[in-house]
Homo-oligomer: A and B are copies of this chain.
Amino acid sequence: MTHVDHQAIDAAEPEARAGDARAEAFQGVRAARRNELAEDYVELIAELIHTQGEARPVDIATKMGVTAPTVAKTLDRLARDGLITRAKYRSVFLTEEGRALAKECRHRHEIVLRFLIRLGLDPETAEHDAEGIEHHVSERTLALFAAFANRS
């Protein structure tokens, strides 16, 4: 467990062709990028289920700022990847795996957000930046962020 992996879903991009340390870093970033969308979706779905009782595609679309067909296609991919289950014209459910990923993402998001605020950032900007940064923070960095956020 070196870089950002978070029990990644992967399968794509033939690794190995490493050699260069730089190349490895870029490959790690590309791997993280492939999971970003899934992470944001399951995190949002968990939140909707918690606050609204259910996760409807229309609400996902609104919160994500995309159109309904985009959500539909993305949900199909998440289902294919075993993170959610869904039935036609019904709202969405997380699988065990999806729930685990959501929890992990929520946790990471929370730490990055608190860290940025602790650093002195306004909550608005902190929320924006955390939404992007959270996917590129290794376990080590996360631990340091948490320590900083919790320091008295």
Which residues of A are in contact with B by a Cβ distance under 8 Å?
A: 2-4, 17-29, 32-33, 36, 40, 62-66, 116, 119-122, 124-125, 127-129, 131-133, 135-138, 140-141, 144-145, 148
List of B residues within 8 angstroms of A29 by Cβ = 128, 131-132
A137 engages B141 (CB within 8 Å): no
B138 engages A128 (CB within 8 Å): yes
List of B residues within 8 angstroms of A137 by Cβ = 129, 133
Question: In the complex this chain forms, how many copies of it are found?
Answer: 2
Q: What are 29 A-to-B residue pairs whose CB atoms are below 8 Å?
A: A2-B125, A4-B129, A4-B132, A17-B65, A18-B65, A20-B62, A21-B127, A23-B63, A24-B65, A24-B128, A26-B63, A26-B65, A28-B132, A29-B131, A29-B132, A119-B145, A119-B148, A121-B140, A121-B144, A122-B140, A125-B138, A125-B140, A125-B141, A129-B136, A129-B137, A129-B141, A132-B135, A133-B136, A136-B136
In the assembled complex, the CB of A121 is this many whole angstroms from the nearest CB of chain B, namely 6
A136 engages B141 (CB within 8 Å): no
A119 engages B144 (CB within 8 Å): yes
List of B residues within 8 angstroms of A20 by Cβ = 62-63, 65
Cα of A148 to Cα of B4 in the assembled complex, Å:
24
